[in-house]
Structure 1
Amino acid sequence: MAPLWLDMAKDAARQVFLDQSVPPDQIEQRLDATVADAQKPLVPCASPKDQGLSHETPSRLPPGPCHPGPMIEIGSRKRNLPAPPHVVFHDLVSPRSAGVRSWLHLLDDEVAPDVLERQESGHVVWSSLWPRRVDARITFELRQGGPGGGTDLRWTLTVDEPAPDESLTGHMRKRINTLIHAKLRYTYGQ
């Protein structure tokens, strides 16, 4: 990429990070990491569905180019949110930590997630919220709700082995539940 284009892209990314209330001292670090990642060659990766996996499949992803080792599922929950899937999808790919309808209120031991994957069909993957477990991934699957409408949302928390101890695992699960099924839900009027 030409230096001028790179500078323009970094300026745009800085503004996105500012809009997402990323602390200023983290912005340049994230930009440098993003540029470094973008310069790496792309590796083909099959999605879990392409590998014949689903939520009913045992909670281990096979090693491969996308996963350096087995990832283990340490938490999952499915609940209904009152907003339609396209609204929930937008809120997950652009989580608000300030302003109108803010809901991503992080604790001192947490950082704002990066969106690693997004498919408008209802699939979002976040990076870890916890610097002490940077390997964690939070996967969201969104489906149209049943008779009551809204969105049936399932989050799944996976980590590289070894799994965190029970205390940290419980903390991580509780925080995802609080952020998604309390804080985000409240922005929809419930």
Structure 2
Amino acid sequence: MHATICDLITDLVQNSIEADADEITLNVEETKTNLRIVIQDNGKGMSAATLAKAKDPFWSDGKHRHRKVGLGLPFLLQTAEMTGGSAEIESEEGRGTSVTLNLDPAHVDLPMFGNFTSAAVSLMTYGFDGNLTIEHSRNNQAYSVSRNDLIDALGCLNDMQNMVLLKQFIESNEKELG
């Protein structure tokens, strides 16, 4: 299992990047009774047979030569099951994948949420050529940020000064969510 929900989110977005997606949307909606996470991509997607295999922790598609197992989706499903939540994975080969997770934020077995600012900065600066849009809402407040818009405004996101500005931008939006 992942140590934090942010670790789980990071793992799932990295799956999208590794599936050659050039458009990824991460939507996190927090209410008192539900934590909803939706990750959609336009990557290579999976057939129904591959998706069934991907839910098996002892199967791997071989994208990581050093690993013999694939734990990302099984950990997602385990987290949902052990906290009374739900997880839905829809995928179509050649069209992309959508992962939806609904969790009870008050459940005693739910991992800590983690540091969303650090996760968002890490994902925005991850070395890929596509666009990632992050949408986060809590307490009837919301913000959205796009990797392409950040690159247009700042230039290279891996420049140290720009990383500091990116972190400050995400932090200020997170504080406004309350």
Q: TM-score, normalised by structure 1?
A: 0.29
Q: Which has the higher contact order (CA 8 A, sep 6+)?
A: 2
Largest Rg, 1 or 2: 1
